[in-house]
Chains A and B, each alone.
Chain A
Amino acid sequence: MTPTARTGGPGTSYQEVQASQEFGELRNRFRKFVFPMTGLFLAWYFLYVGLAAFAPGFMSTKVMGNINIGLIFGLLQFVSTFAITMIYARWADRQFDPTAERLREHMERGQL
């Protein structure tokens, strides 16, 4: 499989890696990014859904011509989805990937 043999060998075992400080930091960074982000977009989505179901009068308020708040709110869901996608991709490419790669190298050389 990988150089990280579970019994001896030059690599570090998965359990040792998991217990290491470097891996702990990697996991923390990942969770600190994705969990709040998930909470945020779910809250934003259910706010929209809730308003559409329980405040249709408000959502029907016209803003410009036949364009109402409901339509703008719906289109903003598209905007926020695109934005979160780009923010995450940029973060993962620049921050997460290099750290994960470094850790993998350390694992393979048994430097953890």
Chain B
Amino acid sequence: MKTALLTAAETVGKPSVNITIFVVFVLITLLIVIRASRNNRTAADYYAGGRAFTGRQNGIAISGDYLSAASFLGIAGAIATSGYDGFMYSIGFLVAWLVALLLVAELLRNTGKFTMADVLSFRLRQGPVRTAAAISTLAVSLFYLLAQMAGAGGLVNLLLGIEGTTGQNITIIVVGILMIVYVLVGGMKGTTWVQIIKAVLLILGAALMTFWVLGKAGLDLSSLLGDAAAKAPQKAPLAKDAVLNPGLKYVFDAKGHTDPIKQFDFISLSMALVLGTAGLPHVLMRFYTVPTAKEARKSVVWAIWLIGLFYLFTLVLGFGAMWLVGPKKILAAPGKANSAAPLLAYELGGTLLLGLIAAVAFATILAVVAGLTITASASFAHDVYSNVLKKGKVSPDDEVKVARITAIVIGIAAVFGGIWAKDQNIAFLVALAFAVAASANLPTILYSLFWKRFNTRGALWSIYGGLISSITLIVFSPVVSGKPADPKTHLSASMITNPSIDFHWFPLDNPGLVSIPLAFLLGWIGTLTSKESDATKYAEMEVRSLTGAGAEKAVSH
């Protein structure tokens, strides 16, 4: 084990080159963040970048937020190690944007101010609904943060030639400190610019590698797939090129038989992916950074094109890594599947390309964590502190002060969480965040935008029901305990690696199949059993959401 790590660390690039590129990137972005923050005066500046970004800028920033380490490192790694089934992640992540485009983005921009809870509590009882929405915002953001921090640890280990737990932990701490600095100094405006720069770099980097791989394969996708499949380990009764077919991970068990638990787990995962996006608080908050609903629509259109294009690249990158690096070497590297993309870069362009791609991946993690932190801190300061604890009697300056303190606390929590979640696959951790978002947030968002009768009890039952059921099912799923032990290492593949500890009773890895319908159902029953209704507020909300009358305006400096 130790020697495998050492050889991988030795053969992957020069740490000095990688560190230099990292430092240059961090310095440039810090400079931009400081410049961008000069005009930060009001709460709308801190939370929503003054609502002054254009649709295109925000669209690029959204793709920056969304194309996290999970999309780049996680999906490329999933394809490189389990083939076609990894590709199905990207399809769910992309199609999900149509929910946001058609049902949520514009209506949310027209009704809300800073956070998701603004919309959820618009016509319901402020205190309880805001509290619930803030709790679920914090939960989803923390899950997502964990995934990003886990990625940072593995990645930087690979690149800086650091190994062992201490090195990895130090990396996670450095990422935590940097992200706190970005958020404190730059607010939403600075964070958005970091996202834009990072998205452009990431898409260009992925494009370069994609065309490089395709060039090596003679611009022939079919031969690329064939060459890749030849490198994958054969699994006896399945076809030789089973990695090109669906099912390797989500249909068949080790003996090649159909496994219904895996099949339903896949349905559950797909449901969480497609319904999760429009419930992700850090994505929703981005719609407030543009001046109008029309610009919000434009930003989603831009985001869909960029994200779709990027996922097409990851398909090539994943199979390219399988072909040129090979699943065995990838799984032996520090960071395991997550290191497929950087290893491919090294294979293609040597030390320099590895350094560049690594810097881009590092930038991705930094930018996404910053975005998540600002969302979580806004939710606490704006929803809990200002509107619930102080009943709205607090100056915007004080609110922003509280948001900044919260950002520091969240940064520290993320560091500890990241250290704890280090070796998990990032795409998989993010899928859990999606499941919680789809269960706790989406039903209430849709009900409150479209259902006249919806009321406070419905919202509370749905948010808490979705949140508690999804998290409970994760805790008692094979993700946490009880996966069979690996015959070589005698460690379980669950988070708790000791195979003798097994308290799981929920068979699926992803809770979406149960918790999402349950949350919709609870919202419906809760609503029908309560008589509360506020016709005046509903009229205001509906008219505002569709016409844009009374929507929050951009800040002019």
Contacts and interface: CB of A to CB of B under 8 A. Distances in A.
B223 interface: yes
Given A14-B539, A46-B270, A77-B95, A66 B546 contact: no
Max chain A C-beta neighbours (<10 A), residue from B87, B229, B547, B550: B547
B101 interface: yes
Interface stretch (B40-48, B245-253, B344-352, B469-477): B245-253
Contacts of A89: 297-298, 301
Given A70-B246, A89-B297, A26 B308 contact: no
Contacts of B543: 14, 17-18, 23, 107
A56 B304 contact: no
Main secondary structure of the interface of A (DSSP, over half): helix
Interface in A1-41: 1-2, 4, 6, 13-15, 17-18, 23, 26-27, 30-31, 34, 37-38, 41
Interface string B73-95: 00000000000100110011011
Given A2-B550, A14-B543, A38-B103, A66 B244 contact: yes
Contacts of B264: 53
Contacts of B247: 52-53, 56, 59-60
A71 B251 contact: no
B413 to A, nearest CB: 34
Main secondary structure of the interface of B (DSSP, over half): helix
Contact of B99 (A17, A38, A53): A38
B516 to A, nearest CB: 13
A84 B547 contact: no
Contacts of A97: 294
A85 B137 CA distance: 27
A65 B245 contact: no
Given A34-B103, A48-B91, A77-B95, A14 B305 contact: no
B95 A2 contact: no
Contacts of B166: none
Given A14-B536, A59-B246, A78-B308, A30 B546 contact: yes
B225 A67 contact: yes
B539 A17 contact: yes
Interface string A66-91: 11101100100110011011101100
Nearest to A76: B91
B224 to A, nearest CB: 8
A54 B308 CA distance: 26
Given A54-B263, A84-B98, A85-B301, A60 B540 contact: no
B87 A74 contact: yes
B535 interface: yes
Interface residues of B, number: 60
Given A37-B102, A68-B245, A53 B267 contact: yes
Interface string B120-164: 000000000000000000000000000000000000000000000
Interface string B290-304: 000010011011001
Max chain A C-beta neighbours (<10 A), residue from B92, B252, B301, B539: B539
A27 B535 CA distance: 17
B297 A92 contact: yes
Contact of B241 (A4, A66, A85): A66
Max chain A C-beta neighbours (<10 A), residue from B221, B225, B549: B549
Given A64-B222, A66-B229, A41 B98 contact: yes
A93 B295 CA distance: 11
Given A60-B246, A65-B222, A74-B87, A53 B251 contact: yes
A62 to B, nearest CB: 9
A57 B94 CA distance: 25
B102 A103 contact: no
Given A4-B550, A88-B102, A52 B244 contact: no
B211 to A, nearest CB: 18
B266 interface: yes
B102 A81 contact: no
B226 interface: yes
B204 interface: no
Contacts of B220: 65
B95 A45 contact: yes
A50 B271 CA distance: 11
Interface of A: 1-2, 4, 6, 13-15, 17-18, 23, 26-27, 30-31, 34, 37-38, 41-42, 45-46, 48-50, 52-54, 56, 59-60, 64-68, 70-71, 74, 77-78, 81-82, 84-86, 88-89, 92-93, 97, 100, 103-104, 107-108
8 contacts: A4-B550, A15-B535, A18-B538, A38-B99, A65-B225, A66-B222, A104-B548, A107-B549
CB-CB nearest 6 A-B residue pairs: A65-B222, A56-B247, A60-B245, A52-B246, A66-B225, A18-B539
Interface of B: 84, 87-88, 91-92, 94-95, 97-99, 101-103, 106, 220-223, 225-226, 229, 239, 241, 244-247, 250-252, 263-264, 266-267, 270, 274, 294, 297-298, 300-301, 304-305, 308, 311-312, 450, 535-536, 538-540, 542-544, 546-550
Given A27-B546, A84-B98, 18 more contacts: A4-B549, A6-B536, A14-B543, A23-B547, A38-B99, A49-B92, A52-B250, A56-B247, A60-B245, A60-B246, A65-B222, A65-B223, A66-B222, A78-B312, A84-B102, A97-B294, A104-B548, A107-B543
